[in-house]
Amino acid sequence: MKKFDVVGIDSPCQDFVMNLDHLPKPNQGVRVNACSWQGGGKVASGIISSARQGVSCAIIGAMGDDLFGRYCYNDFQRHNVNTDNMLLRPGQYTMFNVVLSDKETMGRSILGTGGTTEPIRYEEIDEELLKNAKYFYVAHFSDVVKKATITAREAGAKVFIDADNYNEALIENIGLVDAFVGSEFVYNALFKDSNFEANCKAVAAKGPSIVVFTFGEKGCVGYSQETGYFELPAFHVDATDTLGAGDVFHGAYVAALVYGMDARESARYASAVSAIKCTRIGGRSGIPTKEMVERFLATGEIDYTELDQRVEYYRRGIYHV
């Protein structure tokens, strides 16, 4: 069994992304500036971000054996993400979203279908994947994810969570987490003040050795015993689309940890990856490679040659299946 730097678990989806100047009002229409077919899902897109940084990755989960499921499956393979434990369920439908990204607010509106795909069951998971991971990458704690987390952790893996949504299970299981990277939505659910240092330390006291909270264009804050408390501003770029910015940040962060960066260095690296991603449409076309990120951090320059090729690839979308 091959060892992987990062193994993630998710139920991926298919996104059809449209960039608009502004959202239409009722009974009105607006011109679409660009559109793109891209896979989605918090860990699904995050692990492609990890793979783009050059670390070895595998994904666990289930999708429907339909056009969208096969498209997402192919995209994992295109990025050298191992799919041996990504199931395509016959007769079931992959979740599909129409995503409207508007320049007026730099936000996104999502019209989603739930799909009919049954999530992966624990008995369908190859435990050897869990036992041979350096990092196990999750975004929530269902019963299956919790059991898989315990298996991976007992075998020596570190657990990384994309804590984008607050719920009781997140807090109940926080002691299983080594690296906690949460969104501003989770921060605001947990705390009613801006004493970031004290609040990061309060989360760390529950178990995680690394705690980071992201605040979009306002940057991020974090704490670890190694680095202490830190605050970092966001990088300023000519943003086109913020869809997937958090997912890509998380995937780049865990990749940086694999490379041995500390909590602060990983946050700076992930911020650069997320900023570059935002210059191109959708959650995946703008994800840079490690070489691109290092050049950006050293010079502030972004080489768009390959990224624009990726934009064209995803524009053609389902024709690649």
Confidence of residue 1 (pLDDT cuts 50, 70, 90): low
How many domains in the chain? 1
**Rounded-to-integer distance, Cα 41 and Cα 139, Å:** 10
Which residue blocks in 179-234 are alpha helix, DSSP H?
A: 184-190, 196-204
**Rounded-to-integer distance, Cα 260 and Cα 55, Å:** 12
Range(s) of the domain holding residue 53: 4-23+33-316
DSSP 266: H
């998971």: which residue's tokens?
Answer: 125
pLDDT in tens, 223-269: 999 999 999 999 999 999 999 999 999 999 999 999 999 999 999 99
> Given this model, what pLDDT does residue 234 score?
96
**Rounded-to-integer distance, Cα 287 and Cα 48, Å:** 9
pLDDT in tens, 149-178: 999 999 999 999 999 999 999 999 999 999
pLDDT in tens, 89-126: 999 999 999 999 998 988 889 999 989 999 999 999 99
Query: Is the pLDDT reported for residue 208 higher than 70?
Result: yes
> Given this model, what pLDDT does residue 106 score?
86
pLDDT in tens, 5-60: 999 999 999 999 999 999 999 999 999 999 999 999 999 999 999 999 999 999 99
Segment holding 153, helix H or strand E: helix 143-154
Among residues 57, 64, 39, 38, the alpha carbon closest in space to that of 314 is found at 38
In a domain, 241, yes or no: yes
pTM of the model: 0.96
Query: Is the pLDDT reported for residue 319 higher than 90?
Result: no
In a domain, 57, yes or no: yes
Among residues 98, 111, 55, 64, the alpha carbon closest in space to that of 282 is found at 98
**Rounded mean pLDDT of 310-315?**
96
Supply the CATH number for residue 286's domain.
Answer: 3.40.1190.20
Query: Is the pLDDT reported for residue 129 higher than 80?
Result: yes
In a domain, 54, yes or no: yes
In a domain, 28, yes or no: no
Roughly how many angstroms between the first and final C-alpha of the chain, as a whole number?
A: 29
Among residues 181, 156, 171, 176, the alpha carbon closest in space to that of 43 is found at 181
In a domain, 248, yes or no: yes
Q: Give the strands of the sheet with 210-214, arranged side by side.
A: 81-89, 57-64, 4-10, 133-138, 158-163, 179-182, 210-214, 220-224, 228-232
In a domain, 14, yes or no: yes
In a domain, 321, yes or no: no
In a domain, 311, yes or no: yes
For residue 63, how many C-alpha atoms fall within 13 Å in the half-sphere facing its CB?
29
- Partners of residue 20 on adjacent β-strands: 32, 102
Q: What percent of the chain has pLDDT over 90?
A: 95
> Given this model, what pLDDT does residue 321 score?
62
**Rounded-to-integer distance, Cα 289 and Cα 307, Å:** 10
